[in-house]
Amino acid sequence: MITPNFPVDEEQRLAAVRSYSLLDTLPEKDFDNITALTANICDVPISLVTLLDADRNFLKSHYGLNFNESPRDLSFCGHAILDESNIFIVEDARNDPRFQDNPLVTEMNAIFYAGVRLVNSEGYPLGTLCVFDTKPRMLSKSQKKALISMAYQVVNLFEARKRNRTLLAVQQELKEKNEELKNFAGIVSHDMKMPLANMIITSDILRSKYGQHLDKQGQDYLEYIKQSSFTLSEYITGLLEHYESDKTASLNNEVFDSNDLFEEIIELLNINIDCEINLPETNLEMQANRAALEQIVLNLVGNSLKYNDKPRIRIDIECFEKDGSYHFLISDNGMGIAKNKLSQIFDLFTTTGNLDRNGKKGNGIGLSTVKKLVTKLGGEIEVSSKIGKGTTFQFSIKKK
């Protein structure tokens, strides 16, 4: 018997083998299907997918055997990975000096062997797809071709599992980073709201107590401080709602009337401008996440009020049930959204660039939060718009 040599790049090869995290793993159906099919095609009793470790031959899949590893210095695969031909064949190991006294031959009657190296994308042979028989034999041309093709599929499985593990690791890291960001945003936002409220109150106190001593420019500075504080406070509130939308979407479902919800939202908006809001003719009894739906509609109707340059604002709300979902349409006669902006308006921090009826610019958080909530509630949202004519938001949520 001749013990197989080690490849010249054995250290790098072993690192490649271990990078797939397949050593000492449990059997998997995908690999077992390949060895069973390979044995059938080659008409042999044994077929293996092997990974050659430092001192052992690990059998990732073993058809026809009841063990999952063997010493490397006894393995046929140790010789096979050194052979750069398409397929390594030993027709009768009893007549081959490399294997004559090998216990696999003398005790387990491993007479015939054919193995194809499993070479990864970096060129390292990780192990083999191989077959054994207990008698001398030859493989036909089609059997050799099939064995080579099946080895190629084994390598594809190796690579796919490695990519999946990498993606899962990246996904987990992103999830953890996102959670850290949410916690950070929540802490910072809460900590900033009180100083901003103090700035707003202080600017009012300064105007009330010392306003008579200030010229118009001084008065304008105070107003600028107050309005800037309001803008930043709205921005922070939007951020908190966005990062807490997961919690909102996970709240329990309730049974409620649709028009009761809409009327409550209109009250919350405290509208003090000329506005006509038309509610649906049919009042639905709904079973859904009321808090999340309220936040969605409140945001959309609020936008219809803010981004409207007409003397009289008109908002039409429609609601109906279909195919296990509640469907909503909220239309207005507002400024409209440019066609090239429609595909981006649900992206976080993306704005249309329009100033609202009070001359303020949006922060690009509200519609992103709406999209996030709609998706969490199992629905979809779309928008259509014409500049100067108005905008329609159409969305759905699953009935629970």
pLDDT at 243: 65
CA distance 167 to 306: 42
User: Is residue 227 predicted with pLDDT exceeding 70?
Assistant: yes
Tell me which amino acid residue 388 is.
Answer: G
Give kind and range of the element (H or E) at residue 325: strand 325-332
All structural domains of the chain with their residue ranges: 10-168, 245-398
Per-residue pLDDT tens over the stretch 37-82: 999 999 999 999 999 999 999 999 999 998 899 999 999 999 999 9
The CATH H-level (homologous superfamily) assignment of domain 10-168 is GAF domain (3.30.450.40)
Mean pLDDT of 148-172: 92
Mean pLDDT of 187-202: 74
Backbone φ and ψ for 39, nearest 5 degrees, come out as: -60, -40
Radius of gyration from C-alpha coordinates of the chain: 35
CATH no. of 245-398: 3.30.565.10
* CB 91 within 8 Å of CB 137: yes
Query: How is residue 333 written in tokens?
Result: 């006669």
pLDDT at 166: 87
Confidence grade of residue 185 (pLDDT, cut at 50, 70, 90): low
Angle (deg, nearest 10), helices 366-376 and 216-243: 10
Among residues 91, 15, 28, 20, the alpha carbon closest in space to that of 54 is found at 15
What percent of the chain stands above pLDDT 70? 94
Mean pLDDT of 112-132: 96
Helix locations, the chain, DSSP H: 10-19, 29-42, 77-80, 103-106, 141-210, 216-243, 245-249, 258-269, 290-306, 366-376
Contacts with 359 (C-beta within 8 Å, 6 or more apart), sequence order: none
User: Is residue 138 predicted with pLDDT exceeding 90?
Assistant: yes
Write down the residue that tokens 């997961």 correspond to. Answer: 246
Burial 168-191 (b: 16+ CB within 10 A, else e): eeeeeeeeeeeeeeeeebeeebee
Backbone φ and ψ for 177, nearest 5 degrees, come out as: -65, -40
CA distances from 19 to 29, 122, 249 (A): 21, 12, 40
CA distance 186 to 5: 61
CA distance 57 to 60: 9
Confidence grade of residue 263 (pLDDT, cut at 50, 70, 90): very high
* CB 235 within 8 Å of CB 363: yes
Lowest mean pLDDT among 129-138, 190-199, 202-211, 388-397: 190-199
Tell me which amino acid residue 80 is.
Answer: A
What percent of the chain stands above pLDDT 90? 60
Mean pLDDT of 156-174: 89
Q: Do domains 10-168 and 245-398 have the same CATH topology?
A: no
